[in-house]
Structure 1
Amino acid sequence: MKPFPGKALHSTRCQAQAFQSGRKGKPPQPPPSANDKKWQRVLRQSRALPANPRTMALTRLLYLEQSIEKGLNMPAAMDTDLLPRASDEQKQAQRGATALVAGVMRQRRLLDRTLDAWLDPGVDPQLRCLLRLAVHEAERGALPDHALTHTYVELTKGILHVGAGRLVNAVLRQWIRSRGSAGRPSSDPGPPSPGPSAAAAPAPGTPIPPTDSIADGLACMHSLPTWMVERWVARLGVAEASELCRALNIAAPHGLRLDVGGGAREALCEELRGAGAALRPARWLPDHFVEVARGMQAVVRGGALARGAVAVQSEAAGAAVLLLDAAPGEAVLDACAAPGTKAMFLAARMRGEGRLVAADASAARLRLVGAAAAARGLVPPFFSTRAEGLEALAADGKLRASFDRVLLDAPCSGTGVLAHKPDIRWRRKPGDVAELVSLQRKLLIAAASLVKPGGVLVYSTCSLEAEENGEAVHWFLTETAEGRRFAACPPAEAARLVPRGLLNERGFLEAWPHRHGTDGAFAARLERLPEL
């Protein structure tokens, strides 16, 4: 999926307002509360600490926890190690920090379950955040016990106060004693774990812990919200839901899209290997993608990303573009384009011929699309951007029924990308899906009005939830006047565009992490009927 988590919609109401108004303004913000001021003070003090992977991870985790508490977005929180900036030493520190942050976010529920034995439920969230990181590092055997305890006590004093430092000292000593009594001497940190991904994924066949329900036990074991797992158990059954939960804690290798073919593709792969990247053929779309088994930083250092020769994207996300099947000479709209990964794939498919419009309600995020286009030399009249919501586009009489192809990569719950963006699992609330479905339906109707007779609309998400995917398409086709002008693409035709193994029985793209080894994704190709 996309390198920034914007499609995971961390502010549904804000996007709905942008849809209704077609404008980019943000709603007025209330004055900061005492809690806000405390967060600001702690974050300021955390940023002032000497930079190393531990302090950088703590600062990112504090930002994440504040954004989760307030229901706000935290762009690029998991992806800063992919950004081509800073020195090699700083980049190495960023990678270490990213691994720590991802590990804590994946194990957050398990870490809290451990800490709840010694912490009051009302403990400051900043202190709990610090202790999660401390216990995560202790479980990995990163430092000897006494050194780790001293390090975190001093960190706590630096960003909070001396009393908090005493509490951290007491909790970590209790944790060390409890670990020793469980069979390992507290003076022996033991071997380091294989890493945050593997540590957060219990082996197949691990007994489900006794809790209120099977779903709650699975959720606890895999550090996921119970309400999410309840949905998957109801839909898939216990055995397959367990496989899904495990897969969502193991990030798949980075997918790399190469928008060239033939000899140029081979030359580009040799360039990447020469820079130190270990590549292997992609499982589903080997004509367009390779997997980076290791050496992602080599790809960044080599400059291929910066100049637009390659793009980081999952095969499942790229398959939605292939399902649209945009051709040179056509008029194409990417309706929710930021940050531009799919738009750049469309541009490559169109070979610079025709008209490609990248639109997004967020002018700030649309600048990311513009930067990606500039790196590839895309300019008008072939390529243009529009900082407008879909309703504003649909209201423009010149645009109605004017596009041969429209891609609607809709805001969604993002449950398909929890492996790469583990913080999303803690941002979501049970009512979010219903709220998102309401927005998605409005976007579908607006996007459909922009498609020419005989044209194609592809509706896609990075969600696993039926209401956001197949059920949304069924509602559109059967319950709306606009939808009755469309028909779902026959499965045989869809299989001509993407591998049959990624399609369900209706011919919709339906990728699952545990079945396909990719991020979760959905896409439906809907064809507008010709006018009689």
Structure 2
Amino acid sequence: MDMRTKVDKVRETALKILYDINEKGAYSNISLNKYLNGQEFESIDRAFITDIVYGTLKWQYTIDYLIEKFSSVKIKKISPWIFNILRMGIYQLIYTDKIPFFAACNESVKLAAKYGHAASSKYVNAVLRNIARNKENLPYPDRNNDTAHYLSVKYSHPVWMVKDWLDCFGEEFTEGLLKANNEVAPFTVRVNDLKISKKELVDILTKDGFEVENGKYLDEALIIRNPSAVQKMDAFAKGYFQVQDESSMLVAKVLDPKPGETILDVCSAPGGKSTHIAQIMKNRGTVISRDIHEHKIKLIEQAKERLGLEIIKTEVFDAAVLDGKLIEKIDRVLVDAPCTGFGIIRRKPDIKWSKNSEDKAEIVSLQHKILSTASKYVKDGGVLVYSTCTLEPEENEKAVERFIEENKDFYLEDITEFLPDALRKESAGKGYIQLYPNIDGIDGFFIARMRKRSK
């Protein structure tokens, strides 16, 4: 029987997803959904595909460094299919302890025969065996010679990012951050207390075979230790919970919306914060949820329907463009700004490779435009909250300082009362908080609260 007909479908699917991401620039979560939702995989296979995709992306810099060291062929001469097969194979060999060497090697060789030719499979076999032999003594760069290069290879982050963080945070903090970015983020959900109590949801999930525990900081947060396909969970379909990290939940807490108010969320897709705001408002008042993309608005609509939140009104609108109809009409405005996303690398490892240092300047300029525009909608005495899921001071404290400098009718307001005791950092008294995965155990986030002076 021809070897080509016997490739493992699960690994082949992971390969196609990686090819999509690395060669066509697809987003990891979108490509995964496309391939997993279109086919009937068992939950164990879905988990395996997800692990190979995210694991290979997470360790890609280190893996490529090892390919360079152990390959007789220069990287730019390797075909993209074979390159991604090698990456997957090395991930399985080095970073997983449940996959036997022969399975990782043989399946990679079969894929190479199907997506290349006989010489490709021999080449893949030789590189993987060579790396396996040296597994306990991999040739990392010398730390004392070049700390940034060593850390970037050891923890698989681009050198420019590591250098930036070393300058900003110092060596010990940076190494802790790089380590945390490679850990698996907990699967956290927000209980929809308009439909169900936390205890009832825990009982239902436990009965369905899920391991559930309380979140780290917030009452409405639960961590599911063994999540499978969320969309297929009965409790999800019934709107009993929303998938959301605790740092993201803190944004609505700091906004502190009240029932009956009018709230504007200017960059709201996919709807986690808008739905949380509506929930805190007990489904009374109005939440205007906007996004620039029509297809993303559909995600908010789906979440709103599922969670039973009638007060959310969705609109396609560019947050950087001023809407004359809403000037000084809104009680509270949320700007959850587009950002580099470096606080959520452990959830979306491809962020490391899809962004570069030049992107930051462009993003900072867009954030400034959106924040300045959105501030015009705030009523006298109203509240403006600015948040990002990144760690970069230029996008966070400096962005807010610049805004306050240019808009004297706004001032930063103490947010200590809105935070759980364990997160009441010194900066909270000044009106903002920066969260880090390595320090706080939740996604890296920045949240600032400003008040508009009453005339």
TM-score by length of 1: 0.78
One-letter identity of the residue aligned with 2:408: R
Query: 1:75, CA displacement in angstroms?
Result: 4.2
One-letter identity of the residue aligned with 2:205: L
Query: 1:219, CA displacement in angstroms?
Result: 1.6
Distance 2:19 2:196 in 1: 47
Alignment of 1:19-418 (within 5 A): 52-68=9-25, 73-77=27-31, 87=40, 89-117=41-69, 118=71, 119-122=73-76, 123-139=78-94, 140=96, 145-179=101-135, 209-210=142-143, 213-260=146-193, 264-285=197-218, 287-292=219-224, 294-297=225-228, 301-379=232-310, 382-392=311-321, 394=322, 396-418=323-345
One-letter identity of the residue aligned with 1:417: I
Distance 1:298 1:91 in 2: 7
Query: 1:303, CA displacement in angstroms?
Result: 1.4
Distance 1:177 1:268 in 2: 49
Give the 3-state SS of the residue equivalent to 2:325 in structure 1. coil
The 8 Å contact of residues 270 and 297 in structure 2, kept in 1 or not, is answered as yes
Query: 1:266, CA displacement in angstroms?
Result: 1.2
The C-alpha deviation readout for 1:398-445, integer Å capped at 9, x for no partner, is 211111011111110010001111111111111111111011000111
Distance 1:66 1:261 in 2: 44
One-letter identity of the residue aligned with 1:496: E
Gaps of 5+ in 1: 1-45, 184-206
**Structure 1 residues 399, 304: CA separation in 2 closer, same or farther (over 3 Å shift)?**
same
**Structure 1 residues 50, 339: CA separation in 2 closer, same or farther (over 3 Å shift)?**
farther
Is 1:523 the equivalent of 2:450? no
Give the 3-state SS of the residue equivalent to 2:188 in structure 1. strand
The C-alpha deviation readout for 1:239-294, integer Å capped at 9, x for no partner, is 11111111111123111111218982211211111111212221211x211222x2
**Structure 1 residues 146, 326: CA separation in 2 closer, same or farther (over 3 Å shift)?**
closer
State which drifts further: 425-434 or 323-332: 425-434
**Structure 1 residues 160, 209: CA separation in 2 closer, same or farther (over 3 Å shift)?**
same
Query: 1:331, CA displacement in angstroms?
Result: 0.4
Gaps of 5+ in 2: none
Which structure's relative contact order is higher, taking Cα pairs within 8 Å and 6+ residues apart? 1
Query: 1:99, CA displacement in angstroms?
Result: 0.8
The 8 Å contact of residues 141 and 149 in structure 2, kept in 1 or not, is answered as no
**Structure 1 residues 420, 132: CA separation in 2 closer, same or farther (over 3 Å shift)?**
same
The C-alpha deviation readout for 1:358-379, integer Å capped at 9, x for no partner, is 1000011111001111112334
The C-alpha deviation readout for 1:121-148, integer Å capped at 9, x for no partner, is 3123332111010122223366555554
The 8 Å contact of residues 266 and 319 in structure 2, kept in 1 or not, is answered as yes
Query: 1:157, CA displacement in angstroms?
Result: 2.4
C-alpha RMSD over aligned residues? 2.7
Counterpart of 1:497 (choices 413, 418, 429) is: 418
The C-alpha deviation readout for 1:459-508, integer Å capped at 9, x for no partner, is 10000000000000000000x2xx22211012xxx111112543442231
**Structure 1 residues 468, 147: CA separation in 2 closer, same or farther (over 3 Å shift)?**
closer
Distance 2:196 2:444 in 1: 32
State which drifts further: 110-119 or 416-425: 110-119
The C-alpha deviation readout for 1:70-111, integer Å capped at 9, x for no partner, is xx6444356789x88865x43321111001111111111111
Q: How many residues align?
A: 444
The 8 Å contact of residues 251 and 387 in structure 2, kept in 1 or not, is answered as yes
The C-alpha deviation readout for 1:187-235, integer Å capped at 9, x for no partner, is xxxxxxxxxxxxxxxxxxxx98437521222121111111111121112
The 8 Å contact of residues 408 and 459 in structure 1, kept in 2 or not, is answered as yes
State which drifts further: 158-167 or 331-340: 158-167
Is 1:427 the equivalent of 2:382? no
**Structure 1 residues 49, 406: CA separation in 2 closer, same or farther (over 3 Å shift)?**
farther
Partner of 2:397 in structure 1? 470
Distance 1:261 1:355 in 2: 16
**Structure 1 residues 322, 298: CA separation in 2 closer, same or farther (over 3 Å shift)?**
same
The 8 Å contact of residues 254 and 449 in structure 2, kept in 1 or not, is answered as yes
Give the 3-state SS of the residue equivalent to 1:385 in structure 2. strand
The 8 Å contact of residues 155 and 179 in structure 2, kept in 1 or not, is answered as yes
Counterpart of 2:377 (choices 445, 450, 473) is: 450
**Structure 1 residues 162, 361: CA separation in 2 closer, same or farther (over 3 Å shift)?**
same
One-letter identity of the residue aligned with 1:113: Y
Query: 1:350, CA displacement in angstroms?
Result: 1.2
Give the 3-state SS of the residue equivalent to 1:510 in structure 2. strand
Distance 1:283 1:318 in 2: 12
Counterpart of 1:439 (choices 348, 360, 366) is: 366
Distance 2:320 2:426 in 1: 31
One-letter identity of the residue aligned with 1:461: T
Query: Percent identity, aligned pairs only?
Result: 30
**Structure 1 residues 214, 362: CA separation in 2 closer, same or farther (over 3 Å shift)?**
same
The 8 Å contact of residues 416 and 463 in structure 1, kept in 2 or not, is answered as yes
The 8 Å contact of residues 324 and 405 in structure 1, kept in 2 or not, is answered as yes
